[in-house]
Structures are given as structure tokens and as C-alpha cells.
Structure 1
Amino acid sequence: MFRFFTTSKWAWWAYLGSFVILASIWVQVQIDVMINEWFGEFYDMVQKALGEANSVTMEEYTGGLLSFAKLAAISIVLGLAISFLTSHFLFRWRASMVEWYHSVYDRARTIEGAAQRVQEDTIKFSRILEGLGTELVSSVLILIEYFPLLMGLGAGITIMWFGDWEYGLVTGAFIWAVGGTILMILLAWVLRLVGIEYDLQKKEAAYRKMLVIAEDDGSVRPKTLEELFDDVRSIHYLSYLRYIYLNIGRLAYLQVNVLVAYIFLAPAIVGGMVTLGVMQQIIRAFGRVEGSLQFLFRAWPTIVELASVYKRLREFERQIREAEAADNPASTV
């Protein structure tokens, strides 16, 4: 799976491509920080305008809107470029995997579900990584940028349960986000979601294989197909049930999550310790830090799917190596 990074043929895409994508995401995060600063300035201007008639000119107001439009336009263009580059990067990663599978397919074709591994699982692997990988990198870079920013914004104001402690906001965000992530991991472990996803794909592969065989072999009876589909049905039903339990905890957490920043800021808001602009900056920065720390929580269903795909591809490659060793016993000595 990782020959993309170890084969000279793909080195330029693997390493230069990684650098360009990482650098682009970093620039995008910098623009997001600038937008956060804009929120503070703009909402302070709005508060001033609402407090006293004609205290803000139309030119100042429209100038603020245009400033945001410029930053947003740059962010959109950069986001499109990142998406385009990432798609090409991951397709080439997939191509490096498929290239090797093709070279050993004489042995691999006898492995159950080989066609599904080579075609379906490689495309799933690349598509999941396309979203998950960029989101992970973005989350890390956002934490690096926003953690000190949130600490600075929280200095000198009273935070619920933490008082005037300068690390109150970031500590609150950390406890809430990490607590939710631990909850999600525990639920997924108890419900055995990765194992269920893996079993689901295996049963689907067995059913698909029998359908393909039935196209050319008239001896395959409908009863055989029905038995296989019964297995598919039962594992799907079990999956639906387990995900209900997972989503009860997940959705309840996310609903409470909407109010968390306001709860922590309650003493400062009620006490009039912050302006509207500063409050907007804090809430947005808090959301960025919290969202980055909640990466595992938010992406958990996708991570489960990726883990299942990775597990299947790893087993597939292990079976290929075993087949090669059986065909060439002298080479293993």
C-alpha cells in the first residue's frame, strides 16, 4: 500500500506533491486566521454603529465587507487548488498500488475477492484519504495557529469554572473535545464497528463472487445465492443497529457542542467584559480549536471505514506474499 513513497517512479509525486499540498493548507489556515481577525473588527464596528446613529460611515461599512470578500475569494481559489492537487496525488497513490497488484495478478486472482480488492478497495482507500487526510492536516495546523490565539483572547476575562485563569478557555476546549473523542472511541470499541465493517465487506465479496460464477456456471442454484444474501442481510441489519447506538451518543454530544463556547463565556458576557467583536473572535477561535481536537470524533465513521479497507488490503497483500512464497520456496530460504 505504501510503495508510493518507496518507489523512485512515484517519488516526485509522493514527496513534492505532499509538500505542495501541506504548504497550500498552511496558507489556507493563515487566511482563516486573518478572517478571524476581521470578525473582531467588523462586529466591533457593527456594535458601534448600533449604539450611536451615523457613528460609522457607509464607506467604512462597505469597506469591511469588501475586505472579507477578498479574503474569502482567496480562500475559495486556494481550496479549489488543494482539492485538485489532492485528487491527483491520491489517484497516483492508487495507481502505484494497482500497478503492483497487476504485476502479481496471476497469483492474486485466485484469492477470494481479488477483483474487489484491486478495483473497489483501492478507489475507496484513495477517496477516503482525500477527505480525511486533508482534514487531519488542516486540523493540526489550525491547532498550531489557534491555540496561542485563543489563549491571548481569553486573557483577562472570567471563564466559567476556571475563573480568571489565563488557560481557562483552551483547557475547557481541550477537556470537552478530548472527552467527546474518548467517548466515541469507547463506543466504537464496545460496538466492534471496525470488525463489523470488515465482516460486511467479506460477505458482500462472497456474494458478488458467487453471482459472477453463476453467470457462467449453470450448476449454481438460487438457493446458494439466497443463503449468501441471507448472510449479507444479517450483517447489514447488525451494522444498522450498532450505528444507532453510536449515533445516539454522537448526535447528543454535537447538539450540546453548539452551546459550549457560550457556556464557558457566560461570566464574561453577562459581566460585559467583552465587546461583540471580541466575543465573535473568541467563539470562532474556540470553535476552530474545539473542532480540530474533535477530528477523531467527527470523522470516526469514516475512520472506521478506512480501517476496514486498510485491513482488507493488508490481508490481501499478505495472501499475495504467501502465494509467492509457495510458488518460490527457494527464495524464502
Structure 2
Amino acid sequence: MQKLSVAVAVFAALTALVGVHKGDSSLFVLVAAAALCAYTTWRAADMSSFLKIFAFIFSTETIVFGLVGLAQAEGLWPESLKDYAPPETMPLTVAVFSIIVYAISHIPVVREMTRIADLYFSSRDRGEGRVWPFKPFAARERAIAIAMVVVLVLLNQGQVGITVRLSFFNRDWYNAIQEKNASEFWRQLFFVFTPWAFVYVASVIIEFVLQSMLIIRWRRWLTEHYIGRWLGAHTHYGMALAGSGADNPDQRIAEDVNRFISGGEEGYGVYSYSILLIATLSSLVSFAYVLWDLSGNYPLPGTEIYIPGFLFWAVLIYAAVGTLVTHLIGRTLTGLYFDRQRREADFRFSLARMREYSEQIALLGGEPAERGALLRRFAGIIVNYLAIVQKRKQLMVFTSTYGQLSPIIPYVITAPFYFAGRITLGVMTQTASAFGRVESALTFFINYYTSLANFKSVLDRLSSFDHAIDTARGQASATQIFSPTDGADIRLRGLTLALPDGRQIVTVDDLTLAAGQSALLTGPSGSGKSTLFRAIAGIWPYASGEVLTPRGAKVMLAPQRPYIPMGALADAIVYPGHVDDYSRADVQEALRAARLAPFVERLDEENNWGQRLSGGEQQRVAIARALLAKPDWLFLDEATSALDEQLEEEIYAMLRERLPGTTIVSIGHRSTLHAFHDRYIVMEPAPGGVFSPRDKVHA
């Protein structure tokens, strides 16, 4: 950006020389704007990567359009290309745009928005693209995305330019109608309107396809990014333990990411608003120039006093009042939309959870209680919905009235002059058209207030999700308790475990779990047995002290209720591995050894196995996984509690036989478990309401 800044500064100096040479003081307005643009472009080096794209485009256009303007001023522009020269105000317009981009980059809500956008536009990942009819090519994903944005912005600017050109067609066409000039009427229709209309339609189609490709690429990358952050380093588990304010992560990844980029059903996201705002500003500047020029036809009503830009100032005041009133009416919408997304997600989650626990609910006859809970949550959705309806009704009353009056006002202003014969019908319609375009641009926030409020709620949800992830990761990074050793044992030294609320639950002064020596851990409920296992497994974030583990040792923990993913049974058995990691014979043998022989022939059957398998069968699936994984250390957290004593004995005997190199440490309450272990450890109460593991001799 620094080189571009120097180029803009050189252009500003060149413009000043031309202004002195031609004696044209109007050029010094462009000199001032270009100089300021050069400064903001230099400072843009530290700006958001996403906004930097727009600053680069506008600063470059300042030079390109400015040089064309200087060529015209010096009489160097070919006469044959006179009709294709950009408007005189174009260099000034794009220079102001570049300055505006730098200015808005300091607005807090824009900084938060671009922080999320920059995740994609600053990435170093590689992607594949294709420009028809050429072959696919590989490049940095951000380079592909930046190129697409540049083309889309240029297409959009071209569309605004065509719209301005068609406004002059509109003027000349209506004048031809008024003058009954048939030849001019048809010439304007076939040789002005038709070619520009076809170019406009083609640009809209190209824009749609390119925009769609950008949106889906962006969404894919950002979804992968958030999934990686959420699942990486057990962050999802830490967030669940902390009960963070980031409710329903599934919705934030699946829906909010999509709404942030494309707007979802509303159709307006960060990209849409960026392009829409550029188009709005382009229309504002282009038609404001037209309106300012037309103002010379209209004195103040009832006088012969001409105020420069009278019509522009009139529409500016009109739009400012409308925008202020709109904001005062609808400023609470953002909070209502935020609450709506949370309530909708909670309701869907409740329905999914009821389906997951349908058997338990049926056994307890809990349907009336579930019905009441679901209806209460849905009642909250209704209350929120009605509040939004009420607020939008108030907005609609004002904006609809405002919208009905807006097209009439320019005709009310111009009608007396038309009927007095001071202006033609073409000038009248062009004035009305320019007035409407400027008014529409100035009332951007009125026209899009509702969707902007919805977008702001999406931005807040993604920001709070990021904050919750960072908090969970910060907690995990602060809990560095593992130290690899060259020994074979696991040793806990000065270990303290706490609950998410900060209350300590377990302290361990010095405890060694010897390799090859199976151990049984018992103790009262709530004494921290499972928490201790999770700390050894490396997923408990609220810990301090030291856990010395054998270097390279493979540790596996089987919980009381294992996770069984939906899909083929084979995938559930080898989880989290892949079926290709094991031979079919090994998987079948693991099932037989885990006393799940009836399922050997159903490995390819897809089902919701978490509901189809009994509690005991699910626990034996975890045992089968251990047989396939062959860990060095296997921690069983009441992993056989759903089995009868005979089957439990068979499972432990089988594990000792088939995993001779695995040290088994169990949590359990049954006295029969003592026979399967070499060591007995009890969680005993210690001062301060905490528990500590102590060796106990078998009675």
C-alpha cells in the first residue's frame, strides 16, 4: 500500500501543476482529496485485510480516472472516445471513497465485523479456482477471494455508471416524446437504451455467478475454521464445563456463519452490505452531481433566489430526519433478534434431546413433563416473535409512509416550473429520477434497518462465540500439568483439581500408578473419581500440579456411557478411527471378544446405534474399541456397570488375556471388582471438603 500511496501523491502533485497551468481552481479540490487519499492509503497498511481491498481499488481508480481527467483538461483525450470518458467527478468520488474506507475502519462495530472477515482474507491456505474456459489453477485462497471481490466491485461500479447513462437517455427520450420527434425517439431506444440494457443484464448475471462462488467458498472456509477451533484442544468440552455464554454452538457454526457472509434468508451479509454500500455511495455521488447541476433550474419557491445545490440540500435534510426517526423507533431490534436466535436454537435442541432420550422418557412416563417444557420454550419464541412484530409494525408505519411520500416530493417541487414552461418534461423526469436516487442512497439505513439489526445480532453471536472459545482455550493453556518422562509409570505430584466454579474437589500429594499393576479406584459419589480420570486423560482444564506420563504412551478412557455416532455400525466400533485403519477380520474378532457376536453380520448396517443398543451393549462397544486400539493405559470409568457380574468377570478376564501390555485402572462400586485388580485405592475426605486418593489393603 505504501507504493500505491506514493503513486497517489505523485498524481496529486501532477494535478496541482495542471491546475496552475490551466488556471483551473476547481482542480485544487481534487488535489486536496488526492493528497488526503495518499495519506490514508499509506496508513492503510495496518488496516483490515478485507477493507484494504476496497482502499486499494479506490486509490488505484483515483489515479486512473484522474489521469483521464487531466488528459481531457490538456486536450490530449481522443475526440473519438469523448462519449466514453468517465464523469469529471469520478476521480474525486473514488478518492473520497478511499478516505471513507479508512475512516470507517476505526468504527468499533466495523472493526469487529472485519476481524471475522479477515480470518478468510488473511488466510494462508491454498485453494483451486477456474476462469472459464481456461483450466483450473492452484493459488492462495485469499488471492482467489481478493480477485473475485475486485471484479465484483468493478462490475458494480460499471452498473452504476450504466444507470447514470440511462438517466440521460431517460431525459432525452421523454424530450423526444414531448417534441413528437419520432426519429430521435427510435434512435434513443435502439442505439442508446438497448445496447446499454443488454450490457447491464450481462453484468448482473456475471455478478450473480461470481458472487455465489465467493459466498460458498468463504462459507466453506469459515465453517471449517470455526469447527476446527471449537473441536481443537478439547475446546468444546471446556466450553460445556464452563457453561459459557455461547449457547448452541451448532447454530452459530451452521447458521450464523452463513448469515454473516450472505445473510441467509434475509439475503444481506458482510459481503452483500459491502457491495451494497459501495453501490449506494456511487449512486449518491453520481446522482448528487446530476442533482446539483439540475438545481440551477429551480429557485427557492416563490422567489427568484437560486441556492447552489438547492435540491441536494432539500433531499439531504429530508433523508436525515427520516433516518433519525427510524433509528429511534427500531433501536431495540438488534437485542430482539439476538434473543430470537437463542430461543429458536434452544427449542430445536430440546426436540432433538427428547428424541435421543425417548426410551428413558417413555419408561418414566415423562411425556406430560416434556410437553410442558417444550410448550414453555415455544411460548418464549411466541413472546419474542410478537415483540419483533410490534417493533417492525411501528417501523413499517413510518417507513411505508416515508416511502409513499418520497416519489411524490420531487414532482411537487418541479411541477410549478414545468407548468410555467420553464423546464421540459425530460428535465422534470430526470430531476425526479436523480432526486429519488439520491434520496434512496441517503436513506440506506431506513431501507435496510431491519436486516441491519438482524445482521448486528449475528455479528454479536459470532463475536461472543469467538470470545467463549478464546476463554476456554486460555483456561486450557493455563493448565499445563503434563510432563513426559522416560519411566513406565504414571505419577501425580502436587495435583489439585477444581470445579468450574473454582471450588476444589481433589488434591493428590504424590500418587504413582505402576505400569503392569491394575488398580481399582472407589469412593463416594461426588468425590472426584471421574474428574481425576479426566485430568489424567488430559481433558480437565481446572487443574494445577504435575502429571508425569511415560513418553509416547497411549492413554484411553472408556466412560460409563460411551459415545456412539450415527451411521454404519463398523464406523461406531472403530471410532474415532476409520474403518480402513483395521481389517474386517480384526473388527469382527473384537466384537466377538466383547461378547457382541450377534452384531458381526450387521457391521455395514446404518442406524442410530446410540438408541438401538442397550446400555450394556454400548459399554461393550467401548471395550471392542479398546481391543482394536491396544492402548498402553486403559482407564475404565464404571465402564462395565451395566453388565451383570458374570459378564463383567468374563470381560475383565478377556482384557487381561488379549491386552497383556495394557495397564487397566478402573472406577467402580461393586465389591466383585476387587478380584480383577492388583491394587485398591479409595477417595478419602481431606480437610477443606476435598478428597484425596489413598491406598487401602484388601479386607
* Structure 2 length-normalised TM: 0.44
Letter in 2 for 1:175: I
Match of 2:133 in 1: none
Higher RCO (Cα < 8 Å, 6 or more apart): 1
1:53 corresponding residue in structure 2: none
What's the counterpart of residue 318 of structure 2?
A: 176
| 1:64 alignment partner in structure 2 | 188
Contact kept in structure 1, 2:407 and 2:432, CA below 8 Å: no
> 110-119 vs 39-48, which deviates more?
110-119
Residue 329 of structure 1 deviates from its aligned partner by 1.1
- Describe how 1:42-81 pairs up with structure 2 within 5 A: 42-49=173-180, 56-57=181-182, 59-66=183-190, 67-81=192-206
Q: Deviations over 1:15-70 (max 9, x none)?
A: 22222111111111111111011111111111110xxxxxx34x433222112121
**Distance 1:212-1:61 versus aligned 2 partners, 3 A rule:** same
8 Å contact kept, 2:173–2:184: no
Distance 2:291 2:339 in 1: 44
Report what 2:215 is aligned to: 90
Higher helix share: 1
Letter in 1 for 2:348: R
Give, in angstroms, the shift of residue 210 of structure 1: 1.0
- Paired residue type of 1:76: V
Q: Distance in 1 between matches of 2:433 and 2:379?
A: 49
With over 3 angstroms needed to count, the CA separation of the structure-2 counterparts of 1:256 and 1:317, relative to structure 1, is same
On the 8 A contact 1:197/1:308 being kept in 2, the answer is yes
Contact 1:159 1:169 in 2 (8 A): no
Whole-angstrom CA distance in 2 between matches of 1:85 and 1:286: 32
Q: Which runs of 5+ in 1 are unaligned?
A: 50-55
- 1:311 and 2:453 are equivalent in the alignment: no
Shift of 1:166: 2.2
Distance in 2 of aligned mates of 1:166 and 1:47: 28
| Shift in Å, 1:224 | 1.6
Residues 157-210 of structure 1, C-alpha deviations (whole Å, 9 max, x = no match): 225489521210110111111221111111112xx1111111111111111111
CA distance in structure 2 between the aligned counterparts of 1:85 and 1:100, rounded to whole angstroms: 23
Cα distance in 2 for partners of 1:16, 1:246 equals 39
Distance in structure 2 (CA, Å) of the matches to 1:37 and 1:13: 37
Match of 1:8, SS? Answer: coil
Pair 1:151 & 2:292 matched: yes
Are the counterparts in 2 of residues 173 and 286 from structure 1 also a CA contact under 8 Å? yes
- 2 CA distance for matches of 1:167 and 1:318? 48
More strand by share: 2
The corresponding residue for 1:194 is 334
User: Does the CA contact (< 8 Å) of 2:256 and 2:462 recur in 1?
Assistant: yes
- Residues 334, 457 of structure 2: 8 Å contact kept: yes
Deviations 1:279-301 (A, max 9, x none): 11111111111111111110111
3-state secondary structure, aligned to 2:406: helix
Aligned AA for 1:12? A
SS at match of 1:253: helix
Structure 2 distance, partners of 1:295, 1:161, is 32
Q: Which runs of 4+ in 1 moved over 6 A?
A: none
Question: In structure 2, what is the Cα distance between the partners aligned to 1:34 and 1:165?
Answer: 26
Percent identity reads: 23
The structure number with the bigger radius of gyration is 2
Q: Does residue 228 of the first structure (1) align with residue 370 of the second (2)?
A: no
Distance 1:157 1:112, change over 3 A: closer
Deviation by residue 1:69-103 (Cα, 9 ceiling, x = unmatched): 21111111111212222222222222232121121
Q: Is the 8 A contact 1:29 1:138 kept in 2?
A: yes
Aligned AA (1:24): L
2:475 corresponding residue in structure 1: 326
Whole-angstrom CA distance in 2 between matches of 1:279 and 1:21: 33
Q: Which one-letter code corresponds to 2:287 in the other structure?
A: Y
Cα separation, 1, equivalents of 2:319 and 2:196? 29
Match of 1:22 in 2: 153
- Count of matched residue positions in the alignment of Structure 1 and Structure 2: 322
CA contact (8 A) 1:156 1:166 kept: no
Whether 1:115 aligns to 2:231 is no
Question: Over aligned residue pairs, what C-alpha RMSD do you find?
Answer: 2.0
Check whether the contact 1:203–1:232 (CA below 8 A) recurs between aligned residues. yes
State the distance in 2 between where 1:246 and 1:76 align.
33
**Contact 1:160–1:266 (CA<8 Å) still a contact in 2?**
no
The change in CA–CA distance for 1:155 and 1:330 in structure 2 (over 3 A counts) is farther
Report the alpha carbon displacement of residue 213 of structure 1 after superposing the two structures with TM: 0.9
Residue 272 of structure 1 deviates from its aligned partner by 2.0
Aligned-partner residue type, residue 120 of structure 1:
E
CA distance in 1, matches of 2:144, 2:447: 29
In the aligned structure 2, how far is the partner of 1:320 from the partner of 1:46?
65
Q: Residue in 1 aligned with 2:414?
A: 265
Q: Select 1:285's aligned residue among 434, 444, 454.
A: 434
Equivalent AA in structure 1 for residue 197 of structure 2: A
1:25-40 alignment to 2 at 5 Å? 25-40=156-171
Query: Contact 1:194–1:307 (CA<8 Å) still a contact in 2?
Result: yes
After the TM superposition, which of the residue ranges 254-263 and 157-166 deviates more from structure 2? 157-166
Report if aligned partners of 1:181, 1:296 keep a CA contact under 8 Å in 2. Answer: yes
Asked whether the 8 Å contact 1:159–1:265 carries over to 2, the reply is no
Does the CA-based 8 Å contact 1:196-1:235 persist in structure 2?
yes
What is the identity, as a one-letter code, of the residue corresponding to 1:297?
Answer: I
Which of 245, 257, 260 is 1:125 aligned to?
260
In structure 2, the partner of 1:140 is: 281
Distance in 1 between residues matched to 2:124 and 2:156, nearest whole Å = 26
Q: Verify the 8 A CA contact 1:159 1:266 in the aligned structure 2.
A: no
Q: Which amino acid aligns with 2:451?
A: T
User: Under a length normalisation based on structure 1, what TM-score does the superposition of the two structures give?
Assistant: 0.90
Contact 1:150 1:170 in 2 (8 A): yes
Q: Quick one: which amino acid aligns to residue 346 of structure 2?
A: A
